[in-house]
């Protein structure tokens, strides 16, 4: 049966980069059905700021009926009474507990760096639980909720990834010397899960040390899975993205037991929106990963290989990675190579 995915273009550069992704998938003859829906703060503003959510009911209904979704970046207005982030809402609603960001360098962009590891971020709780309390005019607290059940399902998915891709080491990032209870549970569950994967090595690194290790010697993490709680890994994976060369290159997936959401790691980049400047790579690679999830893995392989070729050749790349091409030209170059690779 044909699989179904909802596609939401989002805000800022979202429509440009998602159009790129759609063009590549169409030219590669994707068979899965794509259903287009609105989401984000721009449609919320257009509709008169009336709704409590950036996700219209119609979109939610389509999501309930789909196998997966693609979400372009969305703007989250940082005001207490504005709706909750689209990404956080969908991760929590569909229990997409593992936000996965592979970190891999491209030869041309970082000739002296060779990175290949994966970041696993718990995506349903932690400091993103949404529990904030205003105690007085001058004080507020945020609750960092950590539960054994949610740690366990997330950590197991990291171990399963390691097993699938033959990685031998798991690195748990905590601040257990200070956050003794919350990170205590997280670390205990890492140790408990390791018992089920006895061949896997497990190490713990505190978040502050991890940050400097990533700057001075990131290669030490090659062939390993880095795992952490929600906010810690959001920050660590962005730090790692900086080493790769541009946040515009980092693709990601949010996986649960029966649904997945694919997206770029970057945001809506409002300052370059509508200028044909955004790097479409992260969105195109996330779309290719979605094609694999929907059962069309030949498309994923062709697109990944084509994108790498375009970036390393540097004839049609965007300015964030040293080129002078626009979003659309880079997309067209990826299309040409991806189609060639599919014909072989
Ligand atoms: P951002 O990722 O949008 O931008 C950070 C920097 O990276 C900017 O200089 C931007 O121009 C650049 N950049 C981002 N994507 C790029 C691309 N594809 N090509 C070239 N350059 C690119 O982060 P921000 O400025 O912190 O956030 C802007 C908005 O995005 C906020 O409203 C934030 O809430 C939202 N956001 C959404 C998501 C998501 O939808 N998952 C993730 C992060 C931020």
**How does residue 51 score in pLDDT terms, banded at 50, 70 and 90?**
confident
Is any ligand 1 atom within 6 A of the Cβ of residue 266?
yes
**Is residue 105 assigned to a domain?**
no
pLDDT in tens, 243-284: 999 999 999 999 999 999 999 999 999 999 999 999 999 999
pLDDT tops 90 at residue 140 = yes
Share of the chain above pLDDT 90, in %: 96
Share of the chain above pLDDT 70, in %: 100
Query: Which of 77-81, 171-175, 259-263, 316-320 is predicted with the least confidence, judged by mean pLDDT?
Result: 77-81
Do 145 and 216 share a structural domain? yes
Is any ligand 1 atom within 6 A of the Cβ of residue 320?
yes
Do 171 and 65 share a structural domain? no
Is any ligand 1 atom within 6 A of the Cβ of residue 87?
yes
What is the structure's pLDDT at 120?
98
**How does residue 214 score in pLDDT terms, banded at 50, 70 and 90?**
very high
Do 66 and 119 share a structural domain? no
What string of H, E and C letters represents the secondary structure of 163-231?
A: HHCCCCEEEEEECCCCCCCHHHHHHHHHHHHHCCCCCCEEEEEEHHHHHHHHHHCHHHHCCEEEEECHH
What is the structure's pLDDT at 281?
98
Nearest residue (by CA) to ligand 1, atom 16, is 248
The CATH number covering residue 144 comes to: 3.40.718.10
Do 289 and 260 share a structural domain? yes
Q: Residue 274 Cα, ligand 1 centroid: separation in angstroms?
A: 14
pLDDT tops 90 at residue 344 = no
Do 145 and 215 share a structural domain? yes
**Is residue 77 assigned to a domain?**
yes
Domain tally for the chain?
2
Do 271 and 336 share a structural domain? yes
Give the end of a domain, one of 223, 244, 265.
244
Do 201 and 92 share a structural domain? no
Nearest residue (by CA) to ligand 1, atom 25, is 269
What is the structure's pLDDT at 145?
97
Q: Residue 267 Cα, ligand 1 centroid: separation in angstroms?
A: 3
Q: Which residue has the tokens 């010397």?
A: 177
Is any ligand 1 atom within 6 A of the Cβ of residue 74?
yes
Q: Are strands 169-174 and 224-228 parallel, antiparallel or unpaired?
A: parallel
pLDDT in tens, 11-40: 999 999 999 999 999 999 999 999 999 999
pLDDT in tens, 110-125: 999 999 999 999 999 9
Question: The pTM is what?
Answer: 0.96
What is the structure's pLDDT at 31?
96
Is any ligand 1 atom within 6 A of the Cβ of residue 241?
no
Give the end of a domain, one of 217, 244, 271.
244
Do 254 and 230 share a structural domain? no
**Is residue 160 assigned to a domain?**
yes
Do 310 and 237 share a structural domain? no
**Is residue 152 assigned to a domain?**
yes
**How does residue 81 score in pLDDT terms, banded at 50, 70 and 90?**
confident
Is any ligand 1 atom within 6 A of the Cβ of residue 248?
yes
| 327-343 helix and 281-293 helix, angle to the nearest 10 degrees | 40
Do 72 and 116 share a structural domain? no
Q: Residue 272 Cα, ligand 1 centroid: separation in angstroms?
A: 10
What is the structure's pLDDT at 50?
80
Give the end of a domain, one of 205, 223, 244.
244
Could you tell me if residue 96 is left (phi over 0), alpha (psi between -120 and 50 degrees) or otherwise beta?
A: beta
Residues 6+ apart with CB under 8 A from 101: 118, 119, 121, 237, 240, 241, 250, 251, 252, 265
**Is residue 165 assigned to a domain?**
yes
Domain containing 145 equals 110-244
Do 268 and 202 share a structural domain? no
**Is residue 38 assigned to a domain?**
yes
Residue of 69, 268, 272, 325 with the most ligand 1 atoms within 8 Å of its CB, for mutation: 268
- Mean pLDDT of the region 54-73: 97
Do 19 and 40 share a structural domain? yes
Task: For the chain, give the mean pLDDT.
Answer: 96
What is the structure's pLDDT at 80?
83
**How does residue 1 score in pLDDT terms, banded at 50, 70 and 90?**
confident
**Is residue 104 assigned to a domain?**
no
**Is residue 140 assigned to a domain?**
yes
Nearest residue (by CA) to ligand 1, atom 11, is 269
Q: Can you tell me the distance from the alpha carbon of 250 to that of 272, in angstroms, rounded to the nearest whole number?
A: 18
């Amino acid at each position: 049966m044909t699989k179904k995915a909802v596609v939401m273009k989002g805000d800022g550069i979202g429509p440009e980069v998602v159009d790129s992704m759609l063009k590549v998938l169409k030219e590669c003859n994707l068979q899965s059905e794509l259903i287009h829906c609105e989401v984000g703060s721009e449609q919320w503003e257009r509709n008169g700021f009336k709704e409590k959510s950036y996700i219209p009911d119609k979109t939610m209904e389509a999501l309930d009926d789909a196998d997966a979704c693609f979400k372009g970046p969305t703007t989250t207005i940082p005001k207490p009474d504005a709706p909750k982030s689209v990404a956080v809402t969908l991760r929590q609603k569909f229990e997409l507990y593992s936000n996965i960001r592979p970190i891999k360098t491209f030869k041309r962009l970082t000739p002296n760096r060779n990175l290949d590891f994966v970041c696993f971020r718990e995506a349903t709780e932690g400091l993103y639980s949404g529990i904030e309390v205003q105690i007085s005019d001058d004080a507020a607290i945020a609750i960092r909720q950590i539960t054994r059940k949610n740690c366990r399902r997330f950590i197991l998915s990291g171990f399963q990834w390691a097993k699938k891709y033959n990685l031998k080491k798991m690195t748990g990032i905590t601040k257990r010397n200070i956050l003794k209870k919350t990170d205590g549970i997280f670390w205990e569950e890492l140790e408990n899960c390791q018992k089920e994967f006895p061949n896997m090595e497990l190490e713990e690194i505190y978040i502050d040390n991890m940050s400097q290790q990533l700057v001075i010697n990131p290669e030490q993490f090659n062939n390993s899975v880095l795992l952490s709680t929600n906010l810690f890994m959001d920050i660590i994976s962005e730090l790692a993205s900086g080493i790769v060369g541009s946040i515009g290159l980092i693709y990601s997936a949010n996986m649960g037991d029966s649904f997945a959401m694919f997206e770029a790691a970057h945001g809506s980049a409002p300052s370059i929106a509508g200028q044909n400047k955004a790097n479409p790579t992260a969105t195109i690679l996330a779309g290719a990963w979605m094609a694999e999830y929907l059962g069309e893995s030949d498309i994923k392989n062709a697109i990944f290989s084509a994108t790498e070729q375009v970036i390393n050749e540097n004839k049609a790349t965007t300015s964030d990675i040293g080129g002078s091409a626009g979003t659309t030209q880079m997309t067209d170059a990826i299309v040409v190579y991806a189609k060639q690779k599919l014909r072989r």
